[in-house]
A and B are shown apart, each in its own frame.
Chain A
Amino acid sequence: MTSAVSTPGRRKFKGPKFLLALPSIIWYLLFFVVPIVFVVIYSFGTKDTQRLLPVDLSKLTTSNYSEVFGDTFFKTFKATLRIAVVATILCVFIGLPVAYFAAFKVSEKWRALILALVVIPSFTSFLIRTVAWRIPLAPKGEFSRWLIDLGWISDRGIQLLETPTAVQIAIVYNYLGFMILPLFVALDRIDIRMREASKDLGAGRVATFFGVTLPLAGPGIVAGVLLTFIPMCGDYVTATVLGGAKGNMIGSMIASQFSQAQNWPLGSAMAVLMIGAVLVALVAGALIVWIVPWLTRALEPLTQSVRRSMHARRQNHDASTKPGRVRRFEMTRILLAVWTALVLVFMFIPILLVFRHSFNEGSSFSIWSGHTSIKWWGELFDSTATWAVIVRFVVITAIGLVVKRILVAKSHISPRLLGWVGPLGFIVAFVVNGLVSDWFHDIFDFAGIGDAIRNSFLAAFGATVIAVVLGGLSGVALARRPGTWTKIFMATIFLILVTPEIMDAIALVTWFQRISDVPVLGYVFKHGLGPFNGGINKLWVGQSLYASAVVTLIVRARLAGLDESLEEAAADLGATPARAFRQITLPLISSALIAGALLSFTLCLDNAVISTLVSEAGSTTFPVALLGATKSTIKPFWGVGAVMLFAITMGALAFVAVVLRRSGESSSDIAATLAGG
Chain B
Amino acid sequence: MTEQNKPQQLRMLAPDSFREKLSRRAIFKMGSAAAGLAIVVAACGGDDKGSSTPSTDGGDTTPTDGAALASGDWSRVINAATGTLAMYTWGDYNDPAIVGPLAESSIGISMKVDYFNSNEDLITKLASANGSSGFDIVVPTGPYIPQMIDKGLIQKFDKSLIPNMVNVDPAYLAQEWDPTNDYSVCKNWGTTGYFWDSTVITKDLVTWQDFFDACMNEASGNCSVIDTGPNICGAWFWANGKDWNTTDAADIDACEAFLVDELAQHIKKFDSYPSTALAEGSYALSMAWNGDARQAYQRIEEAGGDPSVWKWALGSPETELWMDNYCIAAGAPNPEAAHSWINWDLIPEVSIQDLSYHGYNTGMKNMSQLISELAPDLVNGEMIFFGDAEVATMRTQEINESIDRLVEILNKMKAKAGA
Contact = CB atoms under 8 A, between A and B. Distances in A.
Interface of A: 47, 49, 52-54, 71-73, 75-76, 79, 134, 138-141, 144-145, 157, 161-162, 244-248, 253, 256-263, 362-364, 366-370, 379, 382, 441, 445-448, 451, 509-510, 513, 516, 526, 533-535, 613, 616-620, 624-625, 628-629, 631-635
B393 interface: no
Contact of B115 (A134, A382, A510, A629): A629
- What are the nearest 8 A-B pairs in CB distance? A632-B91, A140-B281, A617-B134, A139-B281, A617-B86, A628-B115, A72-B415, A248-B418
Interface in B258-314: 264, 267-270, 272-273, 275-277, 279-282, 292, 295, 298-299, 302-305
Interface stretch (B7-15, B125-133, B373-381): B125-133
B212 interface: no
Given A262-B124, A620-B112, A162 B272 contact: no
A447 to B, nearest CB: 5
Given A245-B417, A366-B280, 4 more contacts: A258-B124, A382-B55, A526-B132, A628-B91
A29 B262 CA distance: 48
B118 interface: yes
A379 B52 contact: yes
Contacts of B114: 617, 620, 624-625, 628
B414 interface: yes
Contact of A161 (B88, B273, B280): B280
Contacts of A261: 120, 407-408, 410-411
A536 to B, nearest CB: 11
A248 B292 CA distance: 24
Interface of A is mostly: loop
B169 interface: no
Contact of B113 (A140, A247, A366, A448): A448
Contact of A364 (B91, B135, B279, B414): B279
Contacts of B84: 618
B115, B118, B403: residue with the most chain A Cβ atoms closer than 10 Å: B115
A447 B276 contact: no
A139 B284 CA distance: 11
Given A253-B415, A260-B407, A533-B134, A134 B280 contact: yes
Contact of A72 (B280, B305, B412): B412
Chain B: number of interface residues, binned into ranges: 35 or more
Contact of A248 (B52, B129, B412, B417): B417
Contact of A367 (B93, B110, B302, B411): B302
A635 B273 CA distance: 14
Contact of B416 (A72, A247, A631): A72
Given A47-B404, A633-B91, A634-B276, A617 B136 contact: yes
A545 B227 CA distance: 32
B111 interface: yes
A628 B276 contact: no
A516 B302 contact: no
B168 to A, nearest CB: 25
B93 to A, nearest CB: 8
A262 B305 CA distance: 39
A367 B303 contact: yes
A628 B121 CA distance: 11
B317 interface: no
A513 B280 contact: no
Interface string B224-262: 000110000000000000000000000000000000000
Interface of B: 50, 52, 55, 84, 86, 88, 90-93, 96, 100-101, 110-118, 120-121, 123-124, 127-130, 132-136, 151, 227-228, 264, 267-270, 272-273, 275-277, 279-282, 292, 295, 298-299, 302-305, 333, 403-404, 407-408, 410-412, 414-419
Instruction: Give the most central of B92, B110, B403: most A CB within 10 Å.
Output: B92
A634 B50 CA distance: 13
A366 B412 CA distance: 30
16 contacts: A72-B412, A162-B277, A244-B269, A245-B418, A248-B415, A253-B415, A261-B408, A262-B407, A363-B50, A364-B302, A367-B299, A445-B52, A451-B112, A526-B132, A617-B114, A633-B91
A225 to B, nearest CB: 26
A139 B280 contact: yes
A50 to B, nearest CB: 8
A618 B52 CA distance: 24
A246 B91 contact: no
